[in-house]
Structure 1
Amino acid sequence: MSLSETLIARARDIAPMAEKEACNTDRNRKLSDAVIDACCDAGLMEILVPKMYGGHELDYATMAAVVYEFGRYCTSTAWVLSFYIGHNYIHALWPKQFQDEVFADRPFSLTPGTIAPNFRLNPVDGGYIASGLSQWNSGSSRSDWFLNSGLVMVDGKPQGAMAFMVPASDVEIIDNWDMAGMRGTASGDARLNDVFVPRHRAVEVADLLNGQSPGAKIHDNRIYSLPILPFVLGETLPVMAGAYRGAADAFKQLTMDRYSTFTSAKVQDKQTAQIRIGHGQAGAAIAETLLQDYARFLDTVDPAEIRPIEKRAEIRARMGMIADYVYRGINELMLGAGGGAYRNTSPLQRFLRDMNVLRVHGFLDVETAAENLGRVQLGLEPNCPL
């Protein structure tokens, strides 16, 4: 068995723990320490960390398959795990001095955060002073470092955007994550108050978007030269494909177990229920095929091929359409699941709520993504990051 197969098998073994914890994850608004520790102990966090730092330096397909296993049971768990694994990949794009720092004690870090430019960076000798408030910091209940982004301000005017890392000890984590969906992701706000950021902990956002980061010059593996947005979008895809499969299987089992309230007839004998099972199973298979197709693409494409903004706009629009497709498929299942499926103990209602929130995520909103692709196709400037 290859290392990739071994890690996927470990994820498959741990995933039922996430299923058992799913209600508590939702209720507590964060993953349990037991699930996070099990994933760390299984070596899942370092899937994409370079071998020179003790990582596995595997491919996106391995990461996607691992995250998918959790997505079938708990969307929140899959989302946070995908970010933890993905942000360890992002660490490898930073200057070597930071990589030496972040991987000094172990071959991974638990790093929530976002690259949305929420902070103000004032240049000083040796780095920047960062201040501000950011939202959507998924996984912030367990953190070693935080990924951030901000505008460099000179004489009160923005002079470009920098992504940067700060240790969790420099961050004020605000426990205000209370949402209708993705409740277990601990995606609360984070505040920085005049935090010094050494220059080696910062990277120009433009270099990340173009796949020309400092890490791309250090590591020979082509994966570290990918433009960052196609990879970040890839973090979301196994979560969505797993959610569709989980919902389809949960609906099938529910239908087999249900009896009609008024007639006591078995629900599985109804043609409408049979049709919905067929739609759900086929729909989930299509989502899985889309995931496998994207994994092959991301693991084989020449980074230069996806540097043009037109290609990145197309990828973003594709992900938005997949998010909308998965949501609609799960919603159709819920229409035939009966009132009991809306109990908090039902996985179906969690999958629906979670996908309802994900489909309006800043990177997954289909209307914004489609508009952006249309603008680029018409020769207009994009109106959101690519």
Structure 2
Amino acid sequence: MPTTNMTPTTRSAHTTAGAPPTHTALAAAAGRAAELAAESATAADSGNRLSPAVAEALVDAGFARHLVGERWGGSAARRGAVQDLAQALATVGAGCMSAAWCGGVLAAVGRMCSHLPEEGQHELWGDGPDVPLAGSLAPSGVVREVPGGWRLSGTWDFASGVDHAHWTMVGGMVRGADDAPALRHFVLPSRAYTVLDTWHNVGLRGTGSNSLLVDDVFVPTHRSFAHHTVLMGEPDAAAPRLHRVPLKLINGLFFVAPGIGAVEGALHAWTEWTAKRVEVNGVRTSSRPGVRLTLARAAASVGAARLLVERAAAEADEAEVTHALTLSTTRDYSTAVDLLLDAVNGLLRMSGARGQARSSPIQRVWRDVHCMAGHAALQPDVNADAWARHALGEE
């Protein structure tokens, strides 16, 4: 499958005219990781996790450091960082969406952990920013406040890449202002938890999104931060822009961009295969009007999805951040997902029984994209409703 070229776009009026191209090395470095990921995509799918070599290649490419602050050697402060990330995720996703998903998690958790107190950041990145991280965002387990920090016990699910992580971030509910429950995040070294073999999913199997078991582990204050600081953005004006923007402005990109690469790769593979196919009656499959229509629609749909995500990435890098922009961006992420679903559904339908074989990349991408579409950040009704209420003046 080919790599993709998600060229930055500045179509939106929100975006600074003449914004420079990406300035980080991630998109170029992602090529090697993409090759390894594509070679072992089938093994990752059947084995329910990435190989150590692919996991290491993602870190070597720079996904883990990408949204970490420059003080620790990361790229978060460089212009074009989000556009570069989108391109890199699509490049890896063209061969293995699970690998690209894990690359996105490396970057996303690195950005979130940048909200730790300085002592906590130093503990993670004092020896360098290329630290493999995993995360389980949803609150779970039992969190008990004690002098100097908290004690955690319980099970946290869906920690993509946890088998290869050195640290994993988990969420738990604590008492916030006025004793109201508040979500807080805690960062644990790999020695503090046990990884459970729980990830047996229909798609995105290679992400290895297993559970972790924590048994009365102490987490000091410097390895914890409140969720609202990430959700609303870091208020410190000296922090990099990408640590100050609202989480929802970029959250969907970590998951949609891998899907764009995956569907483009599937489209390429399907087109090459279909050009050679012959029906049982001897007629070339490509001569069927329905097949040609499927090809055209799939290409247009994935192209439109790519344009939406490119624009969102450019705006995250350069645009004035407003509430309206955040709402329209989340709306567009969900719309891009719908377009990808339309494309991959058409490809599988016109692939027949051979396209459903375990050896077919079409069925793997079909499964992966449908699982991506179920992510909480990409739900169409929630994101559409939030934008529509704002547009209608109902907020």
TM over 0.5: yes
- The answer to whether structure 1 residue 281 and structure 2 residue 295 are counterparts is no
Q: 2:149 aligns with which of 109, 124, 127?
A: 127
Q: Secondary structure at the match of 1:363?
A: helix
Structure number with greater CO (CA < 8 Å, separation at least 6) is 2
The alignment's C-alpha RMSD in Å is: 2.3
Report Cα offsets for 1:9-30 as digits up to 9, x if no partner: 2212331221111100101111
Corresponding residue of 1:384 = none
What residue ranges of structure 1 are gaps of 5+ in the alignment? 382-386
Aligned to 1:37: 56
Counterparts in 2 of 1:377 and 1:131: CA distance versus 1, 3 Å: farther
Query: What do the CA deviations read for 1:208-253 (whole angstroms, capped 9, x no partner)?
Result: 21113xxx53843211111123222221121121122112212211
Say which of 129, 144, 161 aligns to 1:139. 161
Higher mean C-alpha displacement, 49-58 vs 241-250: 49-58
Residue 369 of structure 2 corresponds to 355
Kept in 1, the 8 Å contact 2:251–2:377? The answer is: no
- Matched letter for residue 361 of structure 2: P
The aligned counterpart of 1:176 is 198
Aligned residue runs from structure 1 range 328-343, under 5 A: 328-343=342-357
Segment drifting more, 202-211 vs 227-236: 227-236
Shift of residue 167, structure 1, vs aligned partner:
1.0
Deviation at 1:375, TM superposition (A): 6.2
Other-structure match for 2:360:
346
Among candidates 245, 260, 270, match of residue 288 of structure 2? 270
Paired residues of 1:244 and 1:287 also in contact (CA < 8 A)? no
Q: Residue 13 of structure 2 corresponds to which residue in structure 1?
A: none
- What whole-Å deviation, never above 9, does each CA across 1:324-364 have from its counterpart, x for those lacking one? 22112210111111211111111110110111111122222
Separation in 2 of the partners of 1:284 and 1:150?
A: 37
Write the distance in 1 (CA, Å) between the matches of 2:200 and 2:247. Answer: 29
- State which drifts further: 67-76 or 4-13: 4-13
What are the Cα deviations for residues 28-71 of structure 1, in whole angstroms up to 9, with x where unaligned?
Answer: 11111111222333334312222211223331111111111011
Paired residues of 1:259 and 1:267 also in contact (CA < 8 A): yes
For normalisation by structure 2, the TM-score amounts to: 0.87
Question: The residue matched to 2:335 in structure 1 has which SS?
Answer: helix
Q: Give CA-to-partner distance per residue, 1:179-217, whole Å, 9 cap, x none.
A: 1111111111122222111111111112221113xxx53
Q: What is the CA–CA distance in structure 2 between the aligned matches of 1:12 and 1:266, rounded to whole Å? A: 35
- In the alignment, does 2:211 pair up with 1:189? yes
CA contact (8 A) 1:164 1:201 kept: yes
- Aligned counterparts, 1:148-227, within 5 A: 148-153=170-175, 159-212=181-234, 217=236, 219-227=238-246
Name which of 124, 130, 133 aligns with 1:102: 124
- Aligned counterparts of 1:152 and 1:363: Cα–Cα separation in 2: 23
State the one-letter code of the partner of 2:345: N
Q: Give the equivalent residue in structure 2 for 1:91.
A: 113
Which amino acid is the alignment partner of residue 335 of structure 1?
Answer: R
Structure 1 range deviating more: 12-21 or 218-227: 218-227
> 1:164 Cα shift?
1.7
Which stretch of the first structure deviates more once superposed, 9-18 or 130-139? 9-18
Is 177-186 or 145-154 further displaced after alignment? 145-154
- 2:72 paired residue number: 53
Establish whether residue 23 from structure 1 lines up as the match of residue 42 from structure 2.
yes
Deviation of 1:114 (Å): 2.4
Residues 309-328 of structure 1 mapped to structure 2, 5 A cutoff? 312-328=326-342
Is 2:269 the counterpart of 1:255? Answer: no
Q: Percent identity?
A: 25
Deviations 1:136-181 (A, max 9, x none): 1111121111111111159xx7532211211111122111100111
The letter for the 1-side match of 2:302 is A
| 3-state SS, counterpart of residue 191 of structure 1 | strand
| Unmatched segments (≥5 aa) in structure 2 | 1-20
Per the TM alignment, residue 370 of structure 1 is displaced from its structure 2 partner at its CA by 3.3
The residue that corresponds to 1:365 in the other structure is 379
**1:362, 1:132 → 2: CA distance?**
22
List aligned pairs for 1:372-383, cutoff 5 A: 372-373=386-387
| Segment drifting more, 95-104 vs 203-212 | 203-212
Cα distance between partner residues in 2 of 1:228 and 1:352 = 28
Distance 1:267 1:298, change over 3 A: same
- In the alignment of these two chains, the number of paired residues is 370
Give distance in 1, aligned partners of 2:192 and 2:313. 36
SS of aligned partner of 1:136: strand
